[in-house]
């Protein structure tokens, strides 16, 4: 008898493909070890300092052990596995304690002096002293991609109902600023800073930001993080498959609004991925993507799209879409918590949902929990 939680609509059973892996090679990454160096061999005694160093040499049948620490990088696997028994896995040695951040720490601040901080509608008598700070972005942190130069809306605008929606979030810059792990709110003009604490504004060239902390506090007394990378874990080459990601926390990724759907963790059109026990928090738009990214790509006759597993993950505070997969078939999405999706308020772009999938045939969704979904759907198939 078919287990009722594994039954598909036609009465057949979902086909599970995962198999036990027997690793032929193991690599170690430990950013906090005094012995760590990317010039090492990646052994337990001589670990790499960055995850990317391991990702550059991992071959099918390799298990990458990642020790606790904060890794400020975007991991770009060079290879995928070959089959269910010969995957490449990236696993935290202590789940939840390996944190990949798409942001860098900002330390140099000066008071904002040259910009108006109140609009003309605020009477002079009501303009109190406020503390607004300026930070000039380091160009070396933004080579190839500067989210503070780019607005959220990308190339596909076909479905946006311009006459029905506030375009402000679409035209905001993608870059985010965090104070002690909490995001500041972006405002469109410098003269909005005087009216609201916990806000930031970006100058036109995208190289200088101005912000006001809650309580008008001094940023020198807080951890200020500036997002600078689009994703946290994503192959640069498409179609890499049979990859497993386990126990990682990925934060502060600053991709644009879908479509295309480019997640903080992204399969980049690869198939047979397993993403489990991961946390993805504060993505500007998309948390995880496992599909064909968008409908503008060519669809090749022999291309497999889907066959991936997302299990026991927490996808928290994704701006537009928690987990996405256009044209992904035969997928397993189980035991996940998707919370806080949709804070960008872009529901009329038709990509806003906790889970958003197209062509989801032969797929199984079970025991997923949705909370605090803002102006978006929990589940959209």
Q: How far apart are CA 108 and CA 371, in angstroms?
A: 37
Q: Which of 125-139, 259-273, 322-336 has the lowest mean pLDDT?
A: 125-139
Distances (CA, A) of 263 to 110, 222, 231: 34, 28, 7
CA distance 139 to 83: 41
* pLDDT-derived band at 9, boundaries 50, 70, 90: confident
User: How sure is the predictor about 5, in pLDDT bands with cuts at 50, 70 and 90?
Assistant: confident
> For 154-206, what is each residue's pLDDT tens digit?
777 777 888 888 999 999 999 999 999 999 999 999 999 999 999 999 999 99
DSSP letter string over 26-39?
A: EEEE-TT-TT--TT
Q: What's the pLDDT at 299?
A: 83
- Choice among 119-123, 141-145, 247-251 with the minimum mean pLDDT: 119-123
- What pLDDT, on the 0 to 100 scale, is given for residue 127? 77
- Burial (CB count <10 Å: 0-12, 13-18, 19+), residue 263: buried
- Structure-block tokens of residue 76: 């770009």
Structure confidence at residue 156 (pLDDT): 73
- For residue 1, pLDDT over 70 is answered with no
pLDDT of 123 over the 80 cut: no
Give the dihedral of Cα atoms 42, 44, 47, 51; nearest 10 deg.
Answer: 70
Dihedral angle sign, alpha carbons of residues 17, 21, 26, 30: positive
Q: What pLDDT, on a 0 to 100 scale, did the predictor assign at position 75?
A: 98
At residue 295 the predicted structure's pLDDT band, cuts being 50, 70 and 90, is confident
The answer to whether residue 377 scores a pLDDT higher than 70 is yes
Q: pLDDT tens-digit profile of 28-82?
A: 999 999 999 999 999 999 999 999 999 999 999 999 999 999 999 999 999 999 9
Mean pLDDT lowest among 166-180, 260-274, 290-304? 290-304
Q: With 90 as the cut, is the pLDDT of residue 148 above it?
A: yes
pTM: 0.96
Task: Please provide the average confidence, as pLDDT, over all residues in the chain.
Answer: 94
User: For residue 125, what pLDDT band results from cuts at 50, 70 and 90?
Assistant: low
pLDDT band at 121 (very low <50, low <70, confident <90, very high): confident
Judge whether residue 143 has pLDDT over 90.
no
What is the pLDDT averaged over residues 352-364? 93
Longest dimension (CA), the chain: 76
What was the pLDDT predicted at 14?
94
Cα–Cα separations (whole angstroms), residue 119 to 172, 188, 343: 19, 12, 26
């Amino acid at each position: 008898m078919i287990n009722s939680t594994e039954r598909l609509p036609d009465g057949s059973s979902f086909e599970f493909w995962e198999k036990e892996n027997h690793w032929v090679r193991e690599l170690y990454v430990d950013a906090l070890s005094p012995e760590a160096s990317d010039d090492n061999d990646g052994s337990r005694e001589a670990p790499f300092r960055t995850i990317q160093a391991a990702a550059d040499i991992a071959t099918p049948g390799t298990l990458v052990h990642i020790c606790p620490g904060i890794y400020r990088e975007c991991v770009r696997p060079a290879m995928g596995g070959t089959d269910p028994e010969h995957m490449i896995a990236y696993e935290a040695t202590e789940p939840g304690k390996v944190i990949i951040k798409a942001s860098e720490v900002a330390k140099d601040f000066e008071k904002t002096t040259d910009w108006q901080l109140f609009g003309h509608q605020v009477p002079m008598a009501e303009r109190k002293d406020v503390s607004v700070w300026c930070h000039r972005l380091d160009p070396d942190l933004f080579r190839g991609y500067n989210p503070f130069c780019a607005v959220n809306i990308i190339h596909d605008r076909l479905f946006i109902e311009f006459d029905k929606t506030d375009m402000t979030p679409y035209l905001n810059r993608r870059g985010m600023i965090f104070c002690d792990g909490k995001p500041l709110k972006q405002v469109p003009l410098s003269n909005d800073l005087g009216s609201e604490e916990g806000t930031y504004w970006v100058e036109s060239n995208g190289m200088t930001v101005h912000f006001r902390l809650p309580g008008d506090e001094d940023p020198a007394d807080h951890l200020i993080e500036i997002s600078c990378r689009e994703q946290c874990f994503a192959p640069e080459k498409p179609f890499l498959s049979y990859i497993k990601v386990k126990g990682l926390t990925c934060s502060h990724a600053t991709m644009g609004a879908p479509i295309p759907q480019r997640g903080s963790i992204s399969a980049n059109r690869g198939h047979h991925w397993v993403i489990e026990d991961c946390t993805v928090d504060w993505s500007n738009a998309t948390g995880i993507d496992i599909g064909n990214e968008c409908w503008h790509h060519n669809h090749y006759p022999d291309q497999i799209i889907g066959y991936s597993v997302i299990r026991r993950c927490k996808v928290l505070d994704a701006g537009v879409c928690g987990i996405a997969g256009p044209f992904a078939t035969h997928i397993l999405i189980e035991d996940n918590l998707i919370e806080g999706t949709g804070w960008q308020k872009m529901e009329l772009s038709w990509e806003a949902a906790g889970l958003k999938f197209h062509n989801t045939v032969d797929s199984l969704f079970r025991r997923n929990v949705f909370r605090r979904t803002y102006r978006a759907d929990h589940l959209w198939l």
